[in-house]
Amino acid sequence: MPAPVSFRSRYKPDKVVVEDLSIGAEPIPIRVINNYSDEKPNIFNYATSNRFTNDASKMVAPVGDMKACSCHPRSGCLPGECECEDASSLIFDPESRIVGQPIGTSTYNDHHYVECGSHCRCRGKCNRYMSHDYLMKKVEIHYKPNMGFGVIAKQHIAAGMPIINYVGTVVTKEYHDEYRNQLASQTDYIFDNLNEEHSGIAVLTDAAHHGNISRFINHSCDPNTQIVKVYPYIYAHGSEKISLPKIVITASQNIRPGDELFVSYGSSYFHTRNIPCLCYTFCCFVPPFDFEEKAQTEKEAVEERAVRRKAVRENWHNTGDIPSIDPPVFDID
Ligand SMILES: [Zn+2]
Ligand SMILES: [Zn+2]
Ligand SMILES: [Zn+2]
């Protein structure tokens, strides 16, 4: 009688190359899986909150300068009464997630939320708090031959739920080149959407040296997460300094275990680096420049995208074979 074939034995278990990328800094260990080689992510300092260079810290206003709400702790912070709530562009149920707002198509500058805290009269007892300095959902980092490292959900994440803050070194644009020259690794993990129009001050968050798992989230023009700017206080008009928001990555669709997390880097990411996006989704906003010439109709565009996606996958290490597509340097760690 043949030995019974176990269901499990037909599957190769995932090869764990790092047991916990956060080295204990996160409440949930973050495994790194690479079933293709022994390659691990480049070394960086795992950090759960932002670091500031000296020049950037001088630009950021202290909490004491900022306007807060005057709600009584017992009455709670209610719409129409709470200044923090009314200064927010979306409704967040602290027990669960963003509610009552159409989400899923927004970009960075569309949404902001003002949290309550110890500087408010409510002392933050209302629980109006969206950002946390730790990973809020279970994820893993997986290596894919055509993508490099990416972030994979290991649990269901409902649309509107916060996942993690984008964290790095906060540096002003003026000082950034000098800062980069001091780094050993020149990997591109720059979040440069922190232009505060009201003050004219431009800072960016660079996760090359310090960062968390958010630095591994790859780009898609059809993403399943979105970014919400979360302010720890209401902006005080007339201040010369900026109120720096936390960048909270939230699910914009229901995400299932095994799904890769994608965020939109925004079209300026590709324009400033002069590289095309290679996602070839129907809504790609920076396709390679000759894409539209080749595809005159919607049907042709669908076929052209399928051909391009296949070509990118097959020629990832030999991009010279694909005419007019620059090497995809942006999402390889
Ligand atoms: Zn309030
Ligand atoms: Zn409050
Ligand atoms: Zn408040």
pLDDT digits (tens, 9 = 90+) for 171-225: 887 777 787 777 766 566 676 555 555 556 677 888 888 899 999 998 888 899 9
Question: 3-state class of 270 per DSSP?
Answer: helix
Q: What is the model's pLDDT at position 156?
A: 94
Q: Which residue matches tokens 């906060």? A: 170
CATH code matching the domain that covers 16-273, chosen among 1.10.3210.50, 1.10.287.70, 2.170.270.10, 3.40.50.1240: 2.170.270.10
Between the CA of 302 and the centroid of ligand 1 the distance, in Å, is 50
Number of neighbours of residue 132 by Cβ within 10 angstroms: 14
Between the CA of 113 and the centroid of ligand 2 the distance, in Å, is 12
Alpha helices (H) in the chain, listed in sequence order: 54-59, 83-86, 173-181, 267-273, 291-294, 298-314
Residues with CB under 5 A from ligand 2 (ion): 77, 116, 122, 126, 128
Q: What is the model's pLDDT at position 322?
A: 34
Between the CA of 179 and the centroid of ligand 2 the distance, in Å, is 38
Between the CA of 76 and the centroid of ligand 1 the distance, in Å, is 7
Cβ atoms of 67 and 233 within 8 Å: the answer is: yes
CA-nearest of 124, 117, 130 to 233 is 117
Mapping DSSP onto H, E and C, the string for 150-175 reads EEEECCCECCCCEEEEECCEEEEHHH
H or E element in which residue 139 lies? strand 139-144
Q: What is the model's pLDDT at position 134?
A: 92
- As given in the structure block, the two tokens for residue 112 are 């902001």
Between the CA of 88 and the centroid of ligand 1 the distance, in Å, is 11
Distance of CA 211 to the CA centre of its chain: 11
Between the CA of 206 and the centroid of ligand 3 the distance, in Å, is 29
Q: Classify burial at 271, counting beta carbons within 10 Å of its beta carbon; exposed 0-12, middle 13-18, buried 19 or more.
A: exposed
Ranges under pLDDT 70 in the chain: 1-10, 63-65, 94-96, 99-110, 146, 184-189, 191-201, 235-239, 293, 312-333
Between the CA of 82 and the centroid of ligand 3 the distance, in Å, is 7
Rounded to a whole number of angstroms, the CA Rg of the chain reads 22
Q: Which ligand sits closest to the CA of 114?
A: 3
Between the CA of 110 and the centroid of ligand 2 the distance, in Å, is 23
Question: 3-state class of 324 per DSSP?
Answer: coil
Between the CA of 251 and the centroid of ligand 2 the distance, in Å, is 24
* For the chain, domain boundaries: 16-273, 276-316
Q: Which ligand sits closest to the CA of 68?
A: 3
Strand duo 246-251 + 210-211: pairing: unpaired
Per residue in 264-307, pLDDT tens? 887 877 887 788 887 877 778 888 777 776 777 777 877 877 77
Q: Which ligand sits closest to the CA of 115?
A: 3
Q: What is the model's pLDDT at position 63?
A: 65
